[in-house]
Structure 1
Amino acid sequence: MGKAISLLWPPRESETEGERGVMELRKRPRPRRVDPDFVSSPPQPLPLPPRKRARRQAAPPAPPPPPPPARQPPPAPAARRRAKCARLIIQSPVAGLQPSVCGPCEAPLRACRLLRVSSLSRRRPPFDWYEADMWTEVAKYLFGVELARLSSTCRWFRRLLADESIWRYAFLRDLSLLPSSADRYPPRPLHRSWRLLYTAAFNGAHSFWFRRSTRHLGAYRIGGFLLESPYMLLTAMLAVPRWLPPEEDGPQIAIEMTGACMLPNARPGIWIADFHLVRCPNCTINKCAGVLQVMDARHCELFLEQGFWNGTWEYEDLGDHYNDEETPTAACAIFNASIHAHASISSVLSSKSWVRRCDDPQPKAHCRRHAVALNSNLLSNSNQGLVSRFQAMRDTTGNGQIVSIRITQQIY
């Protein structure tokens, strides 16, 4: 079945006369049917005829054998597992599915062998990719020397740490003047940057060092306080006098009578208080047994003024207070005569909460936001009275504002 029958005419010449009248049946192959749903493989090309064998030639000389490779140390276990994964590449036989996954590393086998193109072409991000707010928060825990070292590492840190808010925070933090939730920040100093103020306040310099005093023994920082008004109250005791002479009489009379005075022309702003131990100037250096305690309070911009450096600004005596009675302590205080300083004054006047015991002769200072005080216990065998001297330094180039205060008392 399926085969066609055809009549082939005329007969061939080789046939006989009796055979010409007989029809011949031949088989003809059926033409190939093309199925649109089935595509067969392309026909294989016919083999080429054999070529003549080339004439045998002399073989070229063999290259010298390569040197044996150097013996390398065995790879680590992790590297061995990675090498095994790299030799296996199993692609998915079905289009649209992901390649097979290696068991130990749980990653596609293609990724085990080759690196991603994105990782090769990706550049390292610049250093300013880090958040500036994060480094600003870190800078709050660094001191001035550490901030200066960090700013010298690169330009990015130098631009970041040049912000005045960072140095303002460090300046107020080291002086214990950071405002609470109810307080506000102190006003910005005129024509000064917070970085210069920090350098002038914490570079280890003090007024006796600038004057090259040979009688200076030692010093330490008490703290900082705020002067919101130009009125400043000085006392040679841990008490506020009930009555003061009028300001027209001058501070000398008030100091001699009550041991306290009111200064009306002080420079408002941030003040820094230091404690100094100085030898008595009335005796020789080799035989002097007396020691003076000095509470030195100065405006934060004093060491940046040219008048202080060239020596045109000098301390002037305001007055001396002599107490001929036997006193157990040598104390002095500076108060801000403003309404907001009431809480600070009350804390300083409650001396029992912060002074040392009677048998401890070491000085003790107490600094609050609007007041500062100093107390030292005196020895009973050498106590023959107490002399307190008040001194002030004025700005002679301006309107005569007071920029520094000294209260000196003899303790030994």
Structure 2
Amino acid sequence: MPVPTPRPDARPSAQPTARPAALWNDRQFLLLASARTVSVLGNGFARVALGFAVLALPGATPGRLSLVLACQALPQLVFVLLGGVIADRLPRARLMVVADVVGAAAYAGLAALVLSGHAPLVAMCVLAVVAGTATALFSPAMDGLVPLVVPADRLQQANGLLRVGTSTSLLLGLSLSGVAVAWLGAGWALAVNATSFVVSAGLTARLRVSGRRRAKTTSGWDDLKEGWREFASRQWLWVVVAHSAVVVAGLNATVGVLGPLLAEEHLGGARAWSLIVAAQALGTVAGAGLVVRVRVKRPVLVAVLATFPAAVPIALLAASAPPWATAVAMCCSGVTTTVGAVLWSTTLQREIPEEALSRVSSYGWFGALGFAPLGLLVAGPVADAAGLREALAGCAALVALAAAAALLSPQVRRLASAEPSASGRPAERAVRAARP
């Protein structure tokens, strides 16, 4: 495993005695956190609204719902590597603004179609593709921007605080989305999401991140190959990404297709399902608050172990458990998956050189989203053919088996926490401990 090198453009480390809350006094971090919080608030509305908007269309079927959601997920997979290359070449904050504007246009178009009462399936699929493309541009840039905004020794605190804000806003969005869909209609809920992207773009545009200038003489293809070498040289990295591909496919099929179908048929519709998903968001708030304070010796191992509870609420849905039991399991799953996600993001930002971080992140997104469109696309037809509860049971089994398989990797089990020294260099002991 290659020895991580220090980032020359990293901001000086904060004093070890500084409290985590002091990050909120940093204007740059506050702008970034505010932009993400507002954007995720709108996404909370869209997560429920888009599914029920499609189901409300004349002649709606589970297959049509799968198609629209797959059209949103597929561009995230196809264009995320390009997004990583662009984010490592251009100012990341500027790229995020462009992505927010594109996303706003896509959701505004979806809202207009639904509100007009004339929403052709082809038009909705096209706009879903545009929305997915915006996400593909945004995600690698966001992952690479955080280390440029906060000091190296505050990354876990920053990632945790970002999760607190975004999880809280997601909880609020999900809690209100069911009411908005029931009272106002799915079109207005989609319009709220479009507005949130506009506000996020305005806040991100005010970020001033200095000290990152790279003279690029290589081609985009060479950049991709360099990013692949950084990615493939770390066993812990590609093993967890492969595990995530299966987990994300199962979770997306459940939350995007199978869960809304079960809610529509047996739980009373959008209100009941939004409450169940909101319980997961409540857990993510608690998990984000917890991970700001915890320190673990084996962050990647903990991140993988944290995915096991995600299978429990899916299994409860398959077993026709009471909605309150599923909601409790969703809440616990939200706690563990958020702790794992923050530990994973922080490890990535500390172990990967800054100049390649967005490209490596894009390979991570590419792998993690690899099966997501397929999961969304086949979820509806599989539910029709095998049965809704049988499809949910299959998703639960896939999530658990993927997590178990990832634990077979020696580096996943052994990679030690790489706390930066005063110069920002991760400790050498973490590198030695990661070697099989």
TM-score band, normalised by shorter chain: under 0.3
Q: Which has more helix, going by share of residues? A: 2
Give the alignment's TM-score, normalised by structure 1.
0.21
Computing the radius of gyration from Cα coordinates, the structure with the larger value is: 1
